[in-house]
Amino acid sequence: MLTAQPSSARAIRMPEGTDDAIPTPAHAPGTHAAHTFTLYAYRGRLCASNVRDKLIDLGTLAERSGSGWAFELDGEGSLGGSGHASAEQALAAAARSVTFLYLDGQFTAQRDLSDVPRPDLPHAPQVVVTLDPRGVASPVLAAD
């Protein structure tokens, strides 16, 4: 049921029994542009690139004898993980651990590695992650 209000303000009244948690268009997922990043495992490091092709170093990602693949992100204190069966699984775990605010801050603070010889990233293990800039709910919208 819609209720008209005098003047230019209009209020929408939800039908009885409607869940108030249903997102309205202003709060619905996807109304803010998502940001895509690519995480790479390269020579013991966890690197990331953004849509502008800036490449930065986020921390370590290496195979540890007997305990599988492990990663540790710089600047996040003890954020890391271990025991992953492959570099791709470790990258996916790292992607689930980061937020847009963390990556955005790292891209702002760190220099672009383009002034050093670029690594052969097309052949490096990689995961593409799409993050919600608002950081609501789960930080990862998609990880491939």
If the chain, 144 residues long, is cut into consecutive pieces of 10 residues, what is the mean pLDDT of each piece?
Answer: 41 47 46 80 90 91 89 78 90 89 90 71 85 62 50
Phi and psi based region of residue 2 (left: phi greater than 0; alpha: psi -120 to 50; beta: remaining)? beta
Closest CA to 93 of 108, 113, 73, 116: 73
Q: How far apart are CA 14 and CA 5, in angstroms?
A: 15
**pLDDT of the residue at 119:** 60
**pLDDT of the residue at 16:** 54
**pLDDT of the residue at 81:** 83
> What's at 72, amino acid-wise?
E
Return the C-alpha torsion angle 132, 137, 139, 144, nearest 10.
-90
Burial of 6 (0-12, 13-18, 19+ CB in 10 A): exposed
Q: What's this model's pTM, rounded to 2 decimal places?
A: 0.68
